[in-house]
Amino acid sequence: MRSFSAVEKVLGSALTYSGAKQLVPAANRPILFYCIDNIANAGIRDIVMVISPETGDEIRQTVGNGRAWNVQITLFRRTLLQVLPAR
């Protein structure tokens, strides 16, 4: 999960892509696919992703359930309460 977060933070402010930043293509594939490839190649078969209300549907449609990588992907939609900083 750390690799995914780092990619998202680096790309989140640097690009002006109008869709989900994780789906920006690199070498004709969404960047997120390379992250999923690495996770699956490490032998991890259950992946949980937190998606935003704004771009979650686009990511859900693109990634699906993970069958293309032989993994199970579960998506959780982020809510306002999950965004507030911890004390």
What is the DSSP code string of the chain? -HHHHHHHHHHHHH---SS-GGG-EETTEEHHHHHHHHHHHTT--EEEEEE-TTTHHHHHHHHTTSGGGTSEEEEEE--HHHHSPP-
- Using DSSP bridges, classify how beta strands 72-77 and 46-51 pair: parallel, antiparallel or unpaired: parallel
Which pLDDT value is given to residue 20?
86
* Segment-wise mean pLDDT, segments of 10 residues, the chain, 87 residues: 50 62 92 97 96 91 96 88 61
